[in-house]
Amino acid sequence: MSVESIGIDFGTTNTCVAVREEGKTRILQIDPPSSEPTLMRTLIYIPNRNENFFGKNAIDQYFDRGMEGRFFQSIKKLLPNKDFSGTSVFGIRLTTETLIAKFLTELKKRIEHEVGSIDGIPIRMGRPARYSLESDRETLAIDRFLRAIELAGFKNVILIDEPTAAAHSLVETHQENEIVLVCDLGGGTSDFTLFRPKKSGSIEALSVYGVPIAGDSLDTDFFREKLNIHFGSEIRYQRPFSSNVLTLPTAFVRILPKWHHHAFLKERSTWEFILSLRRELVDQKQAHLLENLITLVEENLGYSLHQQVEALKIALSKVAKSDFSFKSFPIEIKFEVLASLFDQLIEPSVTEIEEAAIHTIRLAGLEPNAVKILQFTGGTAKVSLIRKRIQSKFPNAKVVDVEAFTAVAEGLAKANP
């Protein structure tokens, strides 16, 4: 069958591709070694100057090779970051655009392995409703993404808001003129589209809005409050020939919960600063915390630690309490976490997501009781507190769940901009 269009959901955590063939949509298997071959983890592992690994293979090779080299995740979140323009990897300078283009180039190769050449085929790529609430960062993110797409060799590309794409995924199942709010809650952004299905099978978008707060933000909330201290956030040190007692710089402490930035802690000046603290500690009782930090960075344990936080988050959406545990000598952390405490820690982020949903309605000049369908998609939609809070704001709405990880790609392939 000939491919009519391609939808690409380049996500913070996972990437997914759908194709439209003779009026039907199917999801491509772009990561066959994975247990979920339709999802390609948005990961890059660079062990040396000559090799690159992606998706599940990136994880496997990373651990098989003793976690040496550079491991990148959540690269999508670099797009609006004007404070980060690139990094040096084995003496090669990679800008934000070229780093993302590495992943997209591999993705293009895998798509063409499944369907043949994609030259001349319309391609719809998803983008968040908002990369950033700051207009200059928003513009920067779009410019960088378009440049990365170009560097990867994609042509005939149109960017479409991800929540609008998700709206297309199940438009046929909704009644004409029934007001639907799509809540696309992913790893990096929470996006919302308010729309009416039309008789033609198309949609009338009433408003689109989003915030750069989602699953990763919840993980960061927990890390900041419960794990930062285990990695030296409160250590005190004294520089040679100085009488001043210092604590870790605020900017440095802010990086700790952001595992997708841990690779940048190995930049030469930053790494030398970390190692110098061994000689400058004021209280040797804090030495084990500094060693935890050094091990975390030196052994590239950010991803493994992130996985444990993710597992805890999932568990606490189902049970009242669970243990958090992470061990990798000399690091040894274990404590019990109540679901009620976790909810309390993520409250600020949940409130911002909830307010974004309400703001989407206000932008259309409507009241929450006008919404008849709440359509949830994205992995973070599984977090019970977020679902409960959003549902409570729309008393007349029926809840509909669509495939958490493939709905956006399917909608992109269906969309007719």
- pLDDT tens digits along 116-152: 999 999 999 999 888 887 899 999 999 999 999 999 9
- 257, 227 contact by CB (below 8 A): yes
Give the integer Cα–Cα distance in Å for 17 and 211. 24
If asked whether residues 268 and 368 sit together in one domain, one would say yes
* pLDDT at res. 369: 94
Please state, for a pLDDT cut of 70, what percent of the chain lies above it.
96
If asked whether residues 234 and 117 sit together in one domain, one would say no
Domain of 151, in residue numbers: 3-170+402-414
If asked whether residues 156 and 242 sit together in one domain, one would say no
175 pLDDT tier (thresholds 50, 70, 90): low
CATH of the domain at 141: 3.30.420.40
416 pLDDT tier (thresholds 50, 70, 90): low
If one compares 56 and 177, the residue with the highest pLDDT of the two is: 56
* Closest C-alpha among 6, 5, 356, 396 to residue 184: 356
Which contacts of 250-254 are long-range, i.e. CB under 8 A and separated by 24 or more positions?
253/228
If asked whether residues 304 and 213 sit together in one domain, one would say yes
Give the integer Cα–Cα distance in Å for 16 and 6. 11
If asked whether residues 196 and 265 sit together in one domain, one would say yes
pTM reported for the whole predicted model: 0.76
Please state, for a pLDDT cut of 90, what percent of the chain lies above it.
60
3-state secondary structure of 267: coil
111 pLDDT tier (thresholds 50, 70, 90): very high
Taking the alpha carbons of 27, 79, 301, 52 in that order, is the dihedral positive or negative?
A: positive
- 377, 166 contact by CB (below 8 A): yes
pLDDT digits (tens, 9 = 90+) for 204-259: 889 989 898 998 899 999 999 999 999 999 999 999 888 899 998 888 888 888 87
Question: In the predicted model, what is the mean pLDDT of residues 384-406?
Answer: 88
| 117-121, 162-166, 409-413: range with lowest mean pLDDT | 162-166
DSSP letter string, 318-372: TSSEEEEEEEETTEEEEEEEEHHHHHHHHHHHHHHHHHHHHHHHHHTT--GGG--
* pLDDT at res. 171: 60
Question: In the predicted model, what is the mean pLDDT of residues 400-417?
Answer: 80
If asked whether residues 277 and 191 sit together in one domain, one would say yes
DSSP lists the bridge partners of residue 67 as: none
Give the integer Cα–Cα distance in Å for 165 and 117. 24
3-state secondary structure of 146: helix
If asked whether residues 373 and 345 sit together in one domain, one would say yes
Question: In the predicted model, what is the mean pLDDT of residues 144-166?
Answer: 92
Locus of tokens 């507190």: 385
3-state secondary structure of 39: coil
Q: Give the up-direction half-sphere exposure of residue 372: CA atoms within 13 A in the CB hemisphere.
A: 9
SS3 content of the chain, % helix, strand, coil (to 5): 45, 25, 30
If asked whether residues 237 and 115 sit together in one domain, one would say no
Q: In the 8-state DSSP scheme, what is residue 223?
A: I
Taking the alpha carbons of 371, 377, 378, 382 in that order, is the dihedral positive or negative?
A: positive
Mean pLDDT of the chain: 90
List phi, psi (to 5°) of 323: -90, 140
If asked whether residues 124 and 225 sit together in one domain, one would say no
* Closest C-alpha among 391, 87, 19, 96 to residue 263: 87
Q: Where are the alpha helices (DSSP H) in 256-338?
A: 268-280, 287-298, 302-315
377 pLDDT tier (thresholds 50, 70, 90): confident
DSSP lists the bridge partners of residue 336 as: 323
If asked whether residues 204 and 96 sit together in one domain, one would say no
pLDDT digits (tens, 9 = 90+) for 31-79: 987 788 999 999 999 999 999 999 999 989 988 887 788 888 889 989 9
Domain count, the chain: 2
If asked whether residues 90 and 215 sit together in one domain, one would say no
270 pLDDT tier (thresholds 50, 70, 90): confident
Whether residue 202 has pLDDT greater than 80: no
- 80, 138 contact by CB (below 8 A): yes
Give the integer Cα–Cα distance in Å for 30 and 216. 24
> Per the structure block, which two tokens stand in for 26?
């199917």
Q: In the 8-state DSSP scheme, what is residue 397?
A: P
If asked whether residues 7 and 100 sit together in one domain, one would say yes
Query: One-letter amino acid identity for 27?
Result: I
Whether residue 285 has pLDDT greater than 70: yes
Q: In the 8-state DSSP scheme, what is residue 175?
A: P
Question: In the predicted model, what is the mean pLDDT of residues 387-396?
Answer: 94
